[in-house]
Structure 1
Amino acid sequence: MGLGRKKKLVVLGGGMGTLSAIYAITSKDRWRADFESITVYEETWRLGGKGASGRNPDACFRSEEHGLHIWLGFYDNALELIQDCYKKLDPSHGHRWQDWTQAFTPLDAVQLLEKGFGGRPTEYKFPPRGGQASLGAIPSILGAARLLSTSGTTTFSQDFQEEFATKAGPSIGARITRIDQHTADLERKGELHREQWKELRDDLDYTLWEFNRREQQLLRGKSADVFQMWVLMNLSLSLLFGIVRDRIYARGFEVIERLEWSRWMHRNRATRRVLASAPVRACYDLIFGYVNGWANARCVGAGTGTYCLLRMVFGYRNHFAYQLNAGMGEVVFSPLYHVLRDRGVEFKFFHKVTNILPDRTGTAVDSIQLQCIRRVKGDREYLPLFNVKNLQCWPTQPFEDQLEPLPKTCAEDRVSLQYGDDFHDVILGIPPPALDQITEELQAVNAQWRDMTDKLRTTATLSAHLWMTASTTSLGWPDQSTLFGAYEKPLDTIWDADSLIEFEDFPADNCPKAIMYLCGVMADGEDPRTTAKEWIKTRADGAWSNVRNPTKPEFDWRMLYDPQDRPDEKRLDWQAIHINDEGAARYVQSRPGTARYRLRSDQSGLENLWLAGDWTKTALNAGCMEAAIMSGQRAARGVSGYSEISVIGEADRPILPTGPLDAIRQVFDGLDDAIGEIDALGAVLALPNADVTTMLPDNLEIVPHPNSPSGLHPVGVLFAHHWNVRPARAPEWLGRGYNEVAIAVPFVRPRHSNDAQLFTYLPILLLDSPGFTALGALGFGLNKKICSVTNGGGYRQAQTVFRQVPLLTFDTRAAGQARPASEFPNLDLARDIFSLPVLTRHFGNWRRLNMAFDFAAAWVTPVAGQLSVENVFLDGFRRQQVQLANINHDPFSAFAFRCGWSLT
């Protein structure tokens, strides 16, 4: 494709992964200048994939969907997308809700069934909190585990604490205090001395051993509330022990991904009683983590299970979860459809992908084969929505009045899209195992595709939506409960969906009093209605205590709503019961050792094919709405080149290599990674564009920054003392220190480049260490020079080595108190300058370095004073004296800060 030519983008599949991708692209104002067209091909008559729902006009317009849909509070990307979507939704479309808070209701507690306590559910409360609380890097997750392990000790009942202190001995309290201190140090530094690490590991080991040794005597005769606290203590300490023992804080969660999660926890002292507890079972139920639906065949990778649990408990934003006030279709996918259609995205329903063909070289998609299943009358646009109770809804069946009569398959129904004529790039959102039949040619030339389609495992799921004749209170539903989990299989998760009644169209004199959504994993080959009927007959009374027939010991079938008022079990025929067991409807599991076979959005192996869906490799590696959107946004960034498309949490979890060669490459690529700590004076200057240009090589150019004064460009100056500098995999005692002056020209790119990625270029770095000077020049291609340094707090000066001629001087004084970096909005420009990838010239080739300062943990002190350039040691950085403003008042100013850093 020639320069300046617009792209034609084809999107295959209408699930959340692909929709979030095109939403991210079309949210940028310049997308119309870069894309000629964006066309979505969807096999069915509605959008949403596994999240699709429909209204049934033959059953009082009730909502029917694949399962139970609750959005967890750590779904940062999903929540940001839906909030923005509602803001962009045109009121003229007639959608009932114009704000997302009307469509979602916070959920701050769940009920879990703890076996062995008379079938009584236990409530787990999660306090609301303001703002975004997403976890960042692994050390922060370690801090979350530490928080749980220590806070649990304060929530035991008083008599239990006293009994445990008497029987276990006072040393336990001292050990927990020491555990807290060591893990706090580990969270802050990323490493411990050898003796500290051994002490932390031994303290955790002993504490867990002592807890577990006395489990029976301490829990005998105790209440479910005490057992709940015991489970949380044992579970959290076991997770922390495993994180420390396997050095996950340094190596990443993938080092344990090949292990089954329960086995890994048991290896780290979690007792079998704890592993059988409700919180652990609920985690498995959440991601359908069982082989073929068997309750005793758990199958979740330890890295995925641990990471997702910590994100769920500690990473939620504002509320633990959100329940949808109507079906997923009208709450999520109708607004998305309207916004995207208004932006110019074209939707072609009833188009089934039959083949994706690579070109002769196997490096790009050459053609896409589709079959048109139904044709719209007059070749008009199919309009998929209709209005129910002022909500834009999808039907459970297509609108036949818009369609031609169902024809026999013929050649005219086949559609072939060709590269160049019909598309340039493709976003693929069709998940395994449906991919197997349409990518045979790709699998033949690409081993990664073969592994993905062969080795990722899926499971069928069962959903049962029950409309009831009695209220939740009359049914005996737990008080104040909306979500009930860890129940009996196969329908182990139950949601009180009463809020949906208002938006369904039942007769006023014959309306159901409650709706219950149930779901769970399902064994292949079973009949869904037979299985649901058996569950209702034998297990429903554990969820609803008042559903027994008063005259005979069985479920009272009169509790099921039926407009036809059929007798006994026949009332089940009116309920919505469905098994999701075919093709794309199956759930992709997170089995041990299979994350390595997932492909990232940009890892298809074909230069014009991007992947989007919860089956791809993300930080989560588990099937959920958030993973699908993370994948879609990454695909959007790749296909568009819009580097500003961000994925929250993308860097939380290291990516597992996909094969032996990638693993070897990852080892060698990491050998020159470095970490350290910095105490620095920094300044952001605004210099004339002409002066800044002279600092750059001929093949780099500056890109104007929107917040810079006209004709001026930002330049960063950093006068730093580094210490604890060492290879990332080396122990702390190898750390060394040096002083450095860095000049940074940000917002540059190679000339004539269409890449949206911007870089920082470092024209020169002055160091007082010959060793680090040589390492930086030879190892990284940095233009490092030796100098002499005077380092005196607010006064810092770089001089020539032999004659001590001054080169650069900072003369500053504090202009305020040190505060967290987040409290300085004017620091954003400096953060951008020192966070962009660094471009260096290394052995004749450009090399990209990522120098990441931990500004999130930095403390910043405003300073004021003067910067003096006293010698023409760099073209363009002429002799001058610059008065430095206060960072509180101006982004072009000075500041002091301390934090850690890493170089990759």
Structure 2
Amino acid sequence: MTTESKKKKITVLGGGMAALSAVHELTDYPGWKDRYEITVYQIGWRLGGKTATGRGNCNRIEEHGIHILQGWYDTTFRLLRDVYKERKTNNLAPDSPLQDLFKDGLKRNNTTLMTDFDVETGKWTNWPLIFPQLEDLPGDGEPLSTWELIEKGIAMMLEIALGSPYRKGINPISKWILDHYFPSNGEGGLSEPKKKSFLERVIEFFISKKTQIEQFHQEKYDGLVESLDITKNKTDSAAYHRLTKALGILRKIVGIIEKRELKLMGKRPALKRINLMIALAYYNLKGVLEDVYDPRSEKFDFNRINDIDYREWLRKQGAPDWVVFSVVVRFFYTGTFANLVNEKGGAIGAGTALEFFTKSVGYKGSFVFQFVYGTGDVMVMPMYEVLKNRGVEFKFFQEIKQIHYSDTGAIQKISLAEQVKLNGATYDPVKKIGDLNAWPSVPNYEQIDPGYAKRLIDGQVNLEDPWANWTNYQDGTLNLGVDFDEVILGIPIGTLKTICSEIIEKQSKWKLMVDNVLTTPTISSQLWFLPKLKELGFELAAWGLPEEGGAPNVVVYQNPMYSWLDSSLVLPNEDWPAGQKPEFLAYFTGPLTLRAPLPPFTDHNFQKKETQRLIDSFEQWLNDNAGWFWPKGATETYPQGLDFQLLADPENNKDGFSRFVNQYFRANVRPTDHYTLSVPNSHKYRLKTDQSGFSNLFMCGDWIDFGANVGYIDGAIQSGLQAGQALRLKLGLGNHKVIWR
């Protein structure tokens, strides 16, 4: 199979990270060019899907939402490290400021802030989480085993309970223990005790000083430490018996808490947090050992409890409301955009929530890595450069209309439309910003036929918007045996009802999948401020953060913009005019509740109306809430709000509202932009990459059954690797790398 005529033609539909990962996997083995050729079809002018980035006015970075990489995304980091290595080896971007992933493209952030609303006082309270910084880096070495993750998870709960070493007025002894085990100023490494484990020393501290856990007797301490010392014997059966012993000890401690300390917790926040984390450790461990782990097969199966909501499952374990509705449990729902699914506080499968949390404690390096440039700059553009250099063909401005059903058992035809007429045969998507290759927020109009370019500019048409008032250049078809032999579908599930309607009508498993794997629109906004964060009245120490190395990453109480992140680190890579150079940049995100089902694509003003709804609601949100974070940014008119005159504006408008409107807003109502939810009982309707029902159609995306089945970048990439390997196996190829799950 060495001649051009015998090569298999692989068509990839979509250019998000799942599809790009599938392409990377397909081309990551010697001799692939002798066996197949690959063409990627992408709507619009850029790649990245929900991680796409555009450079707009002043070359400001405009994101789909808040994007970070967490230190337990081993699959993602392994892929990116390989991409950067190959990019450098082949000298693909020799002058780019992005040469090393960790040194140039990412910055550690070990801080997260959870905020809670105290009903009794009517005020918000802050709970800073400072995660230990570790020496090893993600993507290097396999993830921890489930037993190791459980042990580390219990230790992590105690770390969270301890609070912040940077809060003012902290007890000197507590500060010593925290400084010993937490990074100094967000930059140090984790100190390893010479003789005793981390967990042993923390518990010993509480016992010896008789602080919050006075009822925790010495014999219970000795037994708990012994039962959690999994390093002595790593066999599954031994670990199971030790954790069962630990569960019995935790049960006695929780009994003491619920009997003697509940009345004190309202007046002593530190005690409340410690007791909450101990109780959560107990109820989760109890449920895992009873409902998830099978001691006969020695296997964990989180899907066994995915037919029930996580809060309902906690109640089933006997957890009281002060645990079930705690800020930590709420974090599970907000972290997966599931908190507004219903009017009961959200919905997420218990197994998905538990597995997601269990995996997260196995982070390496830092808990969070922020992008120094745009997500598309750091992650998507290097992928494109490497894949293009490998010989992959990219076709932009290709709108997929229909993957036609066929009763032959193989996809025979795909209908698509070419959105614009190009000046040349190909389109170069790159925008040069100095020596950096970036993605523009609008197409490179000079490469488009002048007539079509003028129509796009005059009509302010967004070719990624399915409701856009636009007539495509020409329709076309891809045919089996001529244009493709194999197909990888990497387009999000929200679009399948449109582009796979024939298949859904004929195959019940497809209909069950699109009806039961739910999605939600999201919203995001970016605010550029002229003053620095401190000048707005945000005192890092008062919030329990270090003065350096701890950018606020805040999960707030108030919906819908429940999360904001200090993203000021990207500002040196933007080009603002003199007098309007921002000193602080805040990214906001949250879920969007639709008032009605999505309208037909003939409603050309729908996207505009939803964006305006976002602007209006966010203006009110800021007027009601911003003063809590930035008290010096408020006005007399809105003492809890925000003075819009403090916002940077390229046009330097005089009135505050115009400055506000010139910030960046995204209402992600497009079906391709929706976040994939993990509602209870939906896991059974997900299809694996090779379960499409067609011999030549493979699927990838965080909506398929890839394993953990929660919407996050690492899962999307895992699904892409699975699609690539499944297709290669069909072609009789193997010796694949292990896919970490």
Cα drift, residue 337 of structure 1: 1.1
**Cα distance between partner residues in 1 of 2:407 and 2:65:** 42
CA deviations 1:535-560 (Å, max 9, x no partner) are 11111122223221257624222222
For 1:347-402, what per-residue CA distance to the aligned partner results, in whole angstroms no more than 9, with x for missing partners?
111111111123323x2111111111112124x21111111243211111112221
| Corresponding residue number in structure 2 for 1:373 | 419
Secondary structure class of the residue paired with 2:625: helix
Q: What corresponds to 1:643 in structure 2?
A: 734
How much does 1:342 deviate? 1.1
Q: Is the 8 A contact 2:15 2:47 kept in 1?
A: yes
Whole-angstrom distance in 2 between the partners of 1:135 and 1:382: 40
Give the drift of 1:202.
4.8
1:42 maps onto 2:103 in alignment: no
Paired with 2:259 and 2:446, the residues of 1 have a C-alpha distance of: 70
CA contact (8 A) 1:149 1:237 kept: no
> What amino acid does structure 2 have at the position aligned with 1:636?
G
1:239: how far off? 1.2
Which amino acid in structure 1 is aligned with residue 690 of structure 2?
Answer: D
Quote the Cα distance in structure 1 between the aligned partners of 2:312 and 2:321: 10
Q: 1:343 maps to which residue? A: 390
Does residue 232 in structure 1 map to residue 284 in structure 2? no
Which one of 278, 283, 287 corresponds to residue 336 of structure 2? 287
What residue in structure 1 maps to residue 621 of structure 2? 535
Per the TM alignment, residue 512 of structure 1 is displaced from its structure 2 partner at its CA by 1.0
Match of 2:575 in 1: 505
For residue 260 of structure 2, what is the amino acid of its counterpart? Answer: R
| Equivalent position of 2:182 in the other structure | none
* Preserved CA contact (<8 Å) 2:15 2:41: yes
**TM-score under structure 1 normalisation?**
0.66
Q: Which residue of 2 aligns with 1:299?
A: 347
Distance 1:191 1:300 in 2: 32
* 2:462 alignment counterpart: none
70-79 or 166-175: bigger deviation = 166-175
**1:342 & 1:197 partners in 2: Cα distance?**
51
1:19-38 aligned within 5 A: 19-35=20-36, 37-38=37-38
One-letter code aligned to 1:88: E
Structure 1 residues 143-168: Cα deviation after superposition (integer angstroms, max 9, x where no partner): 33454578668547748962655456
Q: Distance in 1 between matches of 2:660 and 2:157?
A: 46
Q: 1:313-462 to 2 correspondence within 5 Å?
A: 313=361, 315-361=362-408, 363-378=409-424, 380-404=425-449, 405-406=451-452, 413-462=474-523
The answer on whether the counterparts of 2:430 and 2:440 sit within 8 Å (CA) in structure 1 is yes
- Counterpart of 2:632 in 1: which secondary structure? coil
> Aligned residue for 1:482?
551
Matched residues in 1 for 2:620 and 2:638: separation? 17
1:268 to 317, 324, 328: 317
Name the SS of the counterpart of 1:360 in structure 2.
coil
Identity across the alignment (%): 27
2:128 aligned residue: 123
Task: Name 2:526's counterpart in structure 1.
Answer: 465
Q: Is the alpha carbon distance of 1:507 and 1:424 closer, same or farther for their aligned partners in structure 2, counting shifts above 3 Å?
A: same
| Residue 253 (structure 2) aligned to one of 169, 182, 207 | 207
SS of 2:284's equivalent in the other structure is helix
Match of 1:5 in 2: 6
**What residue identity is the alignment partner of 1:40?**
V
More relative contact order, 1 or 2 (CA 8 Å, 6+ apart): 2
**5+ residue gaps, structure 2:** 159-197, 456-468, 541-545, 596-609
Q: CA deviation at 1:10?
A: 0.2
Q: Which amino acid aligns with 1:26?
A: T
Q: C-alpha deviations, 1:645-695, integer Å up to 9, x for none? A: 334433xxxxxxxxxxxxxxxxxxxxxxxxxxxxxxxxxxxxxxxxxxxxx
Deviation at 1:335, TM superposition (A): 1.1
Count of aligned pairs: 640
Q: Is the 8 A contact 1:175 1:203 kept in 2?
A: yes
Counterpart-to-counterpart distance in 2, 1:20 and 1:40: 12
- What are the superposed Cα offsets for residues 554-605 of structure 1, whole Å, 9 maximum, x if unpaired? 4222222223233133321111011101211111101111111111222222
Match of residue 634, structure 1, among 714, 722, 730? 722
Question: Quick one: structure 1 residues 617 and 136, their matched pair in 2 at CA, closer, same or farther if it must change by over 3 Å?
Answer: farther
1 CA distance for matches of 2:240 and 2:439? Answer: 60
Task: Name the residue aligned to 1:52.
Answer: 52
Output the CA distance in 1 between the equivalents of 2:638 and 2:378: 42
- Give 1:109 shift: 2.2
* Corresponding residue SS for 2:429: coil
Aligned CA distance change for structure 1 residues 140 and 523 (closer, same or farther; 3 Å): same
Aligned-pair distance for 1:478? 4.8
Give 2:15's aligned residue.
Answer: 14
Aligned match for 2:634, one of 548, 551, 555: 548
Decide whether aligned partners of structure 1 residues 502 and 580 sit closer, same or farther in structure 2, where only a CA change above 3 A counts.
same
Question: How far did 1:344 drift?
Answer: 1.1
The DSSP-based 3-state class of the residue aligned with 1:190 is: helix
- 1:245 matches 2:290: yes
C-alpha spacing 1:570/1:269, structure 2 compared with 1 (3 Å): farther
Structure 1 residues 796-835: aligned runs within 5 Å: none
The 2-side partners of 1:155 and 1:476 are apart by 34
The residue type equivalent to 1:482 in the other structure is A
1:559 and 1:494 map into 2 onto residues whose CA distance is: 18
| Counterpart Cα distance in 1 of 2:530 and 2:568 | 12
Tell me which of 601, 620, 628 is aligned to 2:689: 601
Q: Distance in 2 between matches of 1:320 and 1:27?
A: 29
Match of 1:73 in 2: 71
Q: Where in structure 1 are there 5+ consecutive unaligned residues?
A: 651-904
Q: Which structure is larger by alpha-carbon Rg, 1 or 2? A: 1
Q: Deviations over 1:257-302 (max 9, x none)?
A: 11111221233344433344333323322211124475x4321111
**Secondary structure in structure 2 of the residue aligned to 1:397:** coil
Q: Which moved more, 1:85-94 or 1:42-51?
A: 85-94
Tell me how far apart the structure 1 counterparts of residues 301 and 29 of structure 2 sit (CA, whole Å): 34
Three-state SS of the structure 1 residue aligned to 2:665 is strand
Distance 2:92 2:146 in 1: 46
SS at match of 2:575: coil
Change (3 A) 1:426 1:247: closer
For residues 42 and 618 of structure 2, what CA distance do their matches in structure 1 show?
A: 31
Correspondence for 1:523: 593
Residues 141-160 of structure 1 mapped to structure 2, 5 A cutoff: 141-148=149-156, 155=202, 158=206
The SS at the match of 1:106 is strand
In 2, Cα distance between equivalents of 1:32 and 1:311: 36
The TM-score with structure 2 as length reference comes to 0.80
Alignment CA distance shift 1:217-1:279 (3 Å)? same
Q: Report the secondary structure of 1:98's partner residue.
A: coil
Q: CA RMSD of the aligned region, Å? A: 3.0
| Higher mean C-alpha deviation, range 73-82 or range 159-168 | 159-168
**Secondary structure of the equivalent of 2:736?**
coil
**Structure 1 residue 437 displacement after superposition:** 1.2
Residues in 2 aligned to 1:171 and 1:345: alpha-carbon distance in whole angstroms? 64
Structure 2 CA distance for partners of 1:120 and 1:330, relative to 1, 3 Å: same
The Cα shift of 1:234 comes to: 1.9
1:442 is matched by which residue type in structure 2? I
Distance across 2 between alignment mates of 1:384 and 1:293 = 41
Shift of 1:497: 0.9
Q: Which amino acid aligns with 1:63?
A: I
Name the aligned partner's letter for residue 512 of structure 1: P
Are the equivalent residues in 1 in contact too, given 2:624–2:638 (CA < 8 A)? no
Q: Following the alignment from structure 1 to structure 2, what is the Cα–Cα distance between the partners of residues 625 and 411?
A: 31
